[in-house]
């Protein structure tokens, strides 16, 4: 009969079990390992249930690591635990967080949800998510190279959209509040202001460029009723006896129209602030100084009203009468007759001396 080895390692879960040479001790040790293997899923399930992230609903979704599934008003609601993986094959999905707020998912998308205390982390492999959160709910979106964190402005809520494609292209839209972007390898930090929309390629902040309208995720799913809500009441027709007992309401006198007239709305002045644009440099760790009040211009918009106000109607002048049309034809005027030529001037009569000179001139 072969001898029994002193130690034998058998894998049960993730811890080896040591068997001694004695058969009795071997059986006891195997029973303990089996019991530990059976109890470990229960312990993990209890831990997962204690860290419930929220509830997800959608049309074409697949969830790995869910706590359970509930049906409310004909819709399936899946409870998500910390570490659950969500795949949206097509269409849209909505995650209602247990701490308040929601995350919209536009497919195709794949992500993981983690929770530590009140902080929620979204590990986005691909797809597009839109987070609508209150100020008290910390949330961070991780992509392979960029970490996006919505930042609240004062006590206002946050609304941010983050999209990541398999090619490495990423888009960020800060609808309400700002979004802080950090490069995991270089440590560069960039702040996207409110109402800003940017896109970057291959996870490099140097390739950032401004876009408009390309990073959208509008979830149009009908909301399921929250747990413990009041059931829908169905009205019942009133019986004839009860209808006779109820008296119709008395008609009240119509108020005077003059009393219903409201005072005119007083126009408040409109102010406009002109100041230099806010700048940010990624090379400088400290924020830039605030602009000087001397370069800030406050402009009040007013409407000038004339001192004299004329009331009435201005009528257009009547059109001028058309010119009269002459029925008779106008005969042309004949040209005046030509003037006769002037008479030749009479020749002067020669004297006696002149005649004699003329006579002798003719002889020679």
Mean residue pLDDT of the chain comes to 75
Q: What is the DSSP string of 6-51?
A: S--EEEETTEEEE--SSHHHHHHHHHHHHHHHHHHHHHHHHHHHHS
CA-closest candidate to residue 130, choices 154, 162, 97, 158: 162
Q: Is the dihedral of CA 56, 62, 63, 67 positive or negative?
A: positive
Q: Which pLDDT belongs to residue 364?
A: 66
| Least-confidence region, from 74-83, 93-102, 145-154, 160-169 | 74-83
- On the CB side of 23, CA atoms within 13 Å amount to 1
222 has pLDDT over 60: yes
Other Cβ atoms within 10 Å of 104 Cβ, number? 20
DSSP-derived 3-state class of residue 102: strand
Contact 98, 81 (CB under 8 A): no
pLDDT (average), residues 104-127: 93
Ranked by mean pLDDT, the top range of 36-40, 80-84, 126-130, 267-271 is 126-130
123 has pLDDT over 60: yes
pTM of the entire predicted model? 0.50
DSSP E strands in the chain: the ranges are: 9-12, 15-18, 52-72, 75-97, 102-116, 119-133, 139-142, 146-151, 158-164, 169-176, 178-183, 189-192, 197-201, 209-210, 270-274, 297-301
* Structure tokens that stand for 284 in this block: 């400088």
Q: Which pLDDT belongs to residue 354?
A: 80
Contact 78, 45 (CB under 8 A): no
Q: Which pLDDT belongs to residue 2?
A: 40
pLDDT (average), residues 338-357: 73
* Structure tokens that stand for 159 in this block: 């609304």
Sequence-ordered list of residues with C-beta below 8 angstroms from that of 112, at least 6 positions apart, any chain: 83, 84, 85, 86, 122, 123, 125
Contact 160, 129 (CB under 8 A): no
Q: Which residue has the tokens 């869910």?
A: 66
Report d(CA 76, CA 94) in Å as an integer: 12
Q: Which pLDDT belongs to residue 5?
A: 37
**327: which strand partners?**
none
For residue 279, what pLDDT band results from cuts at 50, 70 and 90? confident
DSSP-derived 3-state class of residue 120: strand
| Least-confidence region, from 7-11, 83-87, 217-221 | 7-11
CA-closest candidate to residue 128, choices 140, 114, 141: 141
Q: Which pLDDT belongs to residue 251?
A: 60
């Amino acid at each position: 009969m072969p001898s029994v080895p002193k130690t034998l390692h058998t894998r049960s879960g993730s811890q080896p079990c040591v068997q001694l040479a004695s058969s009795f001790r071997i059986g006891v040790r195997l029973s303990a390992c089996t019991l530990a293997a059976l109890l470990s899923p229960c312990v993990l399930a209890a831990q997962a249930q204690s860290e419930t992230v929220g509830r997800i609903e959608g049309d074409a979704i697949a969830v790995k690591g869910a706590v359970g599934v509930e049906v409310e008003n004909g819709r399936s609601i899946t409870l998500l635990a910390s570490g659950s993986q969500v795949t949206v094959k097509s269409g849209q999905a909505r995650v209602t967080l247990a701490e308040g707020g929601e995350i919209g998912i536009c497919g195709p998308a794949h992500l993981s949800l983690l929770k530590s205390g009140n902080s929620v982390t979204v590990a986005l492999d691909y797809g597009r998510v839109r987070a609508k959160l209150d100020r008290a709910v910390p949330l961070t979106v991780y992509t392979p190279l960029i970490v996006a964190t919505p930042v609240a402005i004062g006590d206002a809520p946050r609304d941010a959209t983050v999209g990541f494609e398999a090619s490495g292209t990423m888009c960020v839209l800060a609808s309400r509040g700002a979004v802080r972007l950090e490069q995991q390898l270089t440590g560069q930090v960039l702040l996207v202001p409110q109402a800003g929309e940017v896109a970057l390629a291959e996870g490099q902040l140097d390739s950032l460029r401004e876009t408009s309208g390309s990073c959208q995720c509008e979830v149009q799913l009908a909301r399921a009723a929250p747990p413990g809500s009041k059931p829908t009441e169905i009205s019942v027709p009133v019986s004839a006896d009860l209808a006779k007992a109820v008296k119709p309401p008395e008609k009240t006198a119509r108020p005077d129209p003059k009393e219903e007239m409201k005072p005119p709305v007083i126009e408040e002045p409109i102010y406009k602030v002109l100041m230099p644009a806010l700048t940010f440099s990624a090379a400088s760790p400290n924020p830039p100084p605030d602009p000087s009040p001397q370069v800030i211009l406050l402009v009040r918009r007013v409407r000038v009203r004339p001192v004299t106000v004329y009331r009435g109607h201005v009528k257009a002048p009547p059109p001028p009468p058309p010119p009269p049309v002459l029925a008779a034809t106008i005969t042309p005027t004949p040209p005046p007759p030509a003037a006769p030529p002037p008479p030749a001037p009479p020749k002067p009569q020669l004297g006696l001396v002149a005649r004699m000179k003329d006579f002798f001139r003719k002889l020679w």
